[in-house]
Structure 1
Amino acid sequence: MDTFLAIASRRDERRYLPGPLPAATVTRLLDAGRLSGSLRNAQPWLFVVPEARDRVEHLSTAVSVPANVLSAGLVVGILVSGAGPVLFDAGRAAQSMLLAAWADGIASCPNQIVDEAVAREALDAGASEVPAIVLSFGVPERARDPESLDAASWSARANRKPLDEIVRRLR
C-alpha cells in the first residue's frame, strides 16, 4: 500500500473480532516499532506485551476506554526511559506500529493512560521506566478497503481541520 494512502485511510478502530493475532503479525508490528527513529538512536522504548488475561484486565483499568484493551487480539504497552524527547520517540514507534498494522489489514487504537500507577504495575515497569501509551490491535469487526478510494478522497472525508486552519506560514 502507498504510504500516503495508508496515512489518509487509517482510522482508529475500537471493535475487533475475537481472538489473538497470528504470531507473525505480532512480530511484524513490534518490529515496525523497533525500526522507528529516535533522538541520537537512543531507542528509549520497551514494548511490553501482556499475554495473561488477568494482566490484560488489570491494564485495561489504567486506560480511558477499557473495552478497547479487553477486546483486542494484541495489546502493547510502550514504556520509555532516559532523557530528552522520549515521549515523542514513543509516539514515533507507536505510529509506525499503527501504520504497519493498517497496511496488513489490522485495526488499531492508541489508548490514553489515565492511571499511571496501575499501568506501571500491569506493565511491570522498572523504577526508571514510564508508561507512555497502550496500543490495542485486532482484526477489524467491520472490514474497510483502503484502496476503495484514492488518498485525496480519504483525506477529503477525514474529520480533520482544514490545512489553512492549522498551518501558519511565516515570511
Structure 2
Amino acid sequence: METWEALTSRRNVRAYQDESLPREQLDRILEAGRRAPSANNWQPWDFVLVTDQETLRELSKVWQGAGHVAGSAATIVLVAQIEEDAGRRDRLRFDLGQATMAMMLAAADLGIGSGHANVSDQERTRELLGIPDDRFAAVMIALGRPADRPLRPIGRPDRRAFDDVVHAGRW
C-alpha cells in the first residue's frame, strides 16, 4: 500500500476476525513505533505485545471504552515512565502520540485494523503485564483483521470540512 492509501484507509476498527496475525507483521508494526519521531530522540516508550486471549479479555476491562481489546488478535500497550515535570509530561504525551500513529499507519499498510484505547485502571494493567511501579500504561492499540470490511480508502471521511480546518497565512 502507498503511504497516502494507508492514511486514507486507516479507520478505528473495533471488531476483528477470529484469526491470529503473523509475528513478522506484528514486528513490523512494533518497528514503526520504535522508529517514530521523538523530541531530542528521547524515545520514552516501551511496548508490550499481548496475544494471549485471556490477558486480552482482562485488558479489555481496564477502561470502559476498551471492550474491543478482548476480540483483538493482538494488542500493543505503550508504557512510559511516570513524569512529575509538566514540560516532560507534555513531550512524553506528544512522543507517545507519534508512536501510536506510526503503528496504526503501519497496521493499515498491512491491511490490519487498529483501535486505540485508554487505560484508567493502572494497577490492574500493571498486575497483568508486570509493568514496573515507576511506569504507566499510556495507551493500548488493539489489532486484527477487520470483521466488517477490509481497509480501503475512505472517499468521504467523517471529518470537518477542509476549508473549516485550514487557515492560510493567518486565522
Shorter-normalised TM range: 0.7 to 0.9
Cα distance in 1 for partners of 2:32, 2:96 equals 12
Q: Tell me the residue number matched to 1:159.
A: 158
CA contact (8 A) 2:51 2:73 kept: no
Which residue matches 1:54? 54
Cα offset for 1:170? 2.2
Deviations 1:91-138 (A, max 9, x none): 111111110111111111001223233223323221221211011000
Look up the equivalent residue of 2:10 and give its one-letter code: R
SS in 2 for 1:36: coil
Structure 1 length as normaliser, TM-score?
Answer: 0.85
- Aligned-pair identity in percent equals 29
Name the TM-score, length of structure 2 as normaliser: 0.85
Aligned length: 164
Alignment of 1:11 onto 2:17 = no
Asked if the contact 1:16–1:141 (Cα under 8 Å) also holds between the matched residues in 2, the reply is yes
* Structure 2: gaps spanning 5 or more residues: none
Q: Map Cα deviations across residues 132-161 of structure 1 (whole Å, 9 max, x no partner).
A: 101100011133352xx5xxxx3x511011
Q: Is residue 2 from structure 1 mapped to residue 2 from structure 2 by the alignment? A: yes
Deviation string for 1:48-97 (max 9, x for gaps)? 12343332222111023343111100111101125351111111111111
**Partners of 2:133 and 2:106 in 1: how far apart?**
31
Partner of 1:119: 125
Runs of 5+ consecutive residues of structure 1 not aligned to the other structure = none
- Corresponding residue SS for 2:57: helix
| Aligned equivalent of 1:94 | 100
Q: Which residue of 2 aligns with 1:79?
A: 79
- Report if aligned partners of 1:80, 1:87 keep a CA contact under 8 Å in 2: no
Corresponding residue number in structure 2 for 1:68: 68
Contact 2:61–2:67 at 8 Å: present in 1 too? no
